[in-house]
Amino acid sequence: MQIITLIVLLLFCKVSEFRKVRRNNDKPHSSKKISSTVKRYAPGLPCDTYTYHNEKYLDCQEKKQTSVLQDWPEDLIHILLARNQIRILKNNAFSKFQNLKTLDLQQNELRKIEKQAFFGLKKLSTLLLQHNRIKTLSEEVFIHMPRLTYLRLYENPWDCNCELESLVTLLQIPRNRNFGNYAKCESPVELKNQKLKEITPQVICQEEDDKPKPLEGTKPSRPSVDSTLCYTYLYPITTLDCRRKELQQVPDDISSDVIKLDLSNNKIKRLKSKEFKDVSNLEILNLSNNRIESIDPAAFSGLMNLQELDLSENNLSNFQYGVLEDLYFLKKLWLRDNPWRCDYNIHYLFYWLRHHYNVNYNGLECKAPEEYKGWFVGKYVRSYYEECPNERYQVHIGVDDDEWEQTEGAKTNSKQTDSSAKRGVLLTVLS
């Protein structure tokens, strides 16, 4: 509690200190009034606004600007930002300038334009991006500008690979005759100096395929197993049905909104670390009737929402320590028809289940060794301690609820202590 109070105080100090600094910096310039000169922004030079034929211009050419500023007046019709040092356009950079018709960004250092950078520019008709450092751009960037008729893209080092396909296609639509007319590929070598307007979109994708470079969806480390064989159902819950697909591993491209994943009746042998890390919304996971013989302790990591896990009809003889630790909300666990081996290694599973009494499970029955065959695992574990009353064997296994909560608390606390330590240093510097 004390720690938290301290942090809040320190944060507060930091914020007010920051404000003070800003205010001092702003003082020499009037920040609110915009007449003919827009106020100065470090490190750029002042920009001019003027009205010509009833249309408002912002002339900010060659002013060492490095970003688009939100203090520029909203009713601008033309923004001239040529010959500055802008490198990136962030999402919504222009969304307040809804009347904008012209945006001149030529001769900057643009490398990256975020997908929503031009969001809100419904009236924009002219966009000048020539002489920058853009290598790739998706068609998506342009969907926010339905009135766009002039687009300049030349003198950018276009990398003509698959990623550029949607842009190339867009430029080639007949209606867009004034889009990117002189833009040329810089790379790959085979396509150098070819005009984007003239290359066949399919060709640039093929080129990429031939290269050993990793592509989206194919990870060279694993042979790609894709989920396109599976069926997706949206009702009643988003389900990916991969039953009976001869799969030997968990597909690595499962959409993150899947709630139920059915991988039953396949040939999966092992579950690797973080196998389900991209499907954190999963609530039901069916791995029944596979050949699973080993599960990495971190295989289920990230499955915070998992409620039902079916592991019946596999080749499991025990669980390694840790396998179940991430399954905070598990309610049902199917374990039947596995060759559970009743020796010391099964204790983890048994104790975990005993301490997580909200979890309903079934099928935990010894198949080996011969002497315990047909026993429930619980009976075996009890007999183990009857045979060995000597306490030294009673290593505590599993985590009970209390301990779990304590470790969680300790984690959070240590995080806070870390950050408060940092803030403490900050405070010393400022005061």
Ligand X SMILES: *[C@@H]1O[C@H](CO)[C@@H](O)[C@H](O)[C@H]1NC(C)=O
Measured from the CB atom, the residue of 60 and 333 that comes closer to ligand X is 333
Which structure tokens are listed for 422? 């940092």
| Residue 391, C-beta contacts closer than 8 angstroms, at least 6 positions apart | none
Shortest spacing between CB 417 and ligand X, in angstroms: 42
- From the list 239, 278, 285, the residue with the least C-alpha distance to 263 is 285
Measured from the CB atom, the residue of 277 and 367 that comes closer to ligand X is 367
Task: Give the other-Cβ count within 10 Å of 162's Cβ.
Answer: 18
Tell whether the torsion through CA atoms of 196, 199, 205 and 206 is positive or negative: negative
Question: What is residue 5's three-state secondary structure?
Answer: helix
Name the DSSP letter for residue 295: E
Shortest spacing between CB 308 and ligand X, in angstroms: 5
Give whole-number Cα distances, 276 to 257, 273, 283, 301, 303, in Å. Answer: 12, 8, 12, 7, 7
Name the DSSP letter for residue 150: E
Rounded to 10°, the helix 347-355/377-387 angle is: 110
Measured from the CB atom, the residue of 83 and 245 that comes closer to ligand X is 245
* Contact (Cβ atoms closer than 8 angstroms) between residue 140 and residue 116: no
* Contact (Cβ atoms closer than 8 angstroms) between residue 119 and residue 98: no
Shortest spacing between CB 264 and ligand X, in angstroms: 4
Measured from the CB atom, the residue of 339 and 424 that comes closer to ligand X is 339
Measured from the CB atom, the residue of 153 and 287 that comes closer to ligand X is 287
**Phi and psi torsions of 49, nearest 5°:** -120, 140
Measured from the CB atom, the residue of 291 and 379 that comes closer to ligand X is 291
Q: Helices then strands (H, E): number in the chain?
A: 6, 20
Identify any residues that bridge with 126 across adjacent strands, giving them in sequence order: 102, 150
Q: Rounded to whole angstroms, how far apart are CA atoms 17 and 154?
A: 46
Measured from the CB atom, the residue of 159 and 296 that comes closer to ligand X is 296
Which structure tokens are listed for 120? 């809100």
Shortest spacing between CB 274 and ligand X, in angstroms: 23
Q: Rounded to whole angstroms, how far apart are CA atoms 359 and 329?
A: 9
Which structure tokens are listed for 17? 């200190």
Shortest spacing between CB 333 and ligand X, in angstroms: 10
Shortest spacing between CB 182 and ligand X, in angstroms: 59
Q: What is the dihedral of CA 137, 139, 142, 146, to 10 degrees?
A: 160
Shortest spacing between CB 265 and ligand X, in angstroms: 6
Measured from the CB atom, the residue of 130 and 289 that comes closer to ligand X is 289
Measured from the CB atom, the residue of 117 and 250 that comes closer to ligand X is 250
- Residues lying near ligand X in the complex (CB under 6 A) are found at 243, 264-265, 286, 288-289, 291, 293, 308, 310, 315
Shortest spacing between CB 146 and ligand X, in angstroms: 47
CA 114 to chain CA centroid, Å, is 15
Measured from the CB atom, the residue of 131 and 260 that comes closer to ligand X is 260
Shortest spacing between CB 88 and ligand X, in angstroms: 48
Shortest spacing between CB 243 and ligand X, in angstroms: 6
